[in-house]
Amino acid sequence: MATIEEILQVEPIETDIYRGLAFPTLMQRTFGGQVAGQALMSATRTVDAEYAVHSLHGYFVRPGKPEKPTLFLVDRIRDGRSFVTRRVTGIQNGVAIFTMSASFHVRTDHGIEHQDRMPPAPAPEELPDEANELPEDAKAIFREWKNFDIRLVPPSRLATSDYFAAQQRVWFRYRHRLPDDQVFHVGTLAYMSDMTLLGSSKVPHPDADLQAASLDHAMWFMRPFRADEWLLYDQTSPSAFGGRALTQGRIFDHAGRMVAAVTQEGLTRIDREAAADRRDGQAQ
């Protein structure tokens, strides 16, 4: 598995055109977090350092081919005094696979301050490293993310609310020290934010056989953070219907500061072929 530094190191091709490299993978399509992270880094390359990204909104319009690099075309929509807007299109084989709008805000603004409290969760050190604890047939996805430490809070230790249909909490961090540049940590979190989030929609349906894929992805960045230190991903899925599920996440650092928020809609279509195979296997 490539390092996150290699993944996010987009290559300038021409003015406002960048290339994100492809890396060996077991996945059948390009991981959505990789495309989003590379798109965000491409947009950031066109913005002055006095501005920091505060939000992004992306759509996965076609599955990416993981063996192919992706070209990112950046449109400079607006350069204002306080805000800068960029639109990015990721292209493979001449067609768009991903589109993103990203907004950047001047770093020196000040205003009111408040935040939700971080929900209770056992310390990450108390939880097993998922890469080591899962059975062999379930470890493939974690081999893809071997540079990331991902620890799910087990249902028996999850403080839940009766008002939420589906809840899940995950501690995660990058395993190795990253550069101090906050831009790099934001790009890493954009990559990480696609991990496990859609899985929160399956919590009430553990036996469902699904065709799952990210459809769109939105993030808001509130406070500086380090992606190589523990972050708590508090995830909910408020609704699933018609083959799609809405998922939401709030990300807190270890000190309880809310550093980012995520909303994603994903495909959660019943995989009828897999369900039939399972029934046949149970009948034998």
In sequence order, the 6+-apart residues with CB closer than 8 A to the CB of 274 are 209
Contacts 24+ apart (CB under 8 A), 120-126: 120/159, 121/153, 121/157, 121/158, 121/159, 121/169, 121/171, 121/232, 121/234, 122/153, 122/157, 124/149, 124/151, 124/171, 124/173, 124/230
Enter the tokens of residue 199.
């899985």
Q: What is the DSSP letter of 113?
A: -
Q: Which of 42, 92, 237, 264 is catalytic?
A: 264
Question: Does the annotation mark 214 as catalytic?
Answer: yes
Element (H, E) at 143: helix 140-144
Radius of gyration from C-alpha coordinates of the chain: 19
Place of tokens 């919590």: 203
Residue by residue, what is the 3-state secondary structure of 56-76? EEEEECCCCCCCCCEEEEEEE
Place of tokens 């995950």: 170
Q: Which of 200, 214, 235, 237 is catalytic?
A: 214
Query: Is 60 within 8 Å of 214 (Cβ atoms)?
Result: yes
Contacts 24+ apart (CB under 8 A), 154-162: 154/127, 157/121, 157/122, 158/121, 159/119, 159/120, 159/121
Question: Does the annotation mark 16 as catalytic?
Answer: no
Q: Give the whole-angstrom CA distance, residue 267 versus residue 166.
A: 16
Q: Which of 34, 149, 194, 201 is catalytic?
A: 194
Known catalytic residues are 194, 214, 264
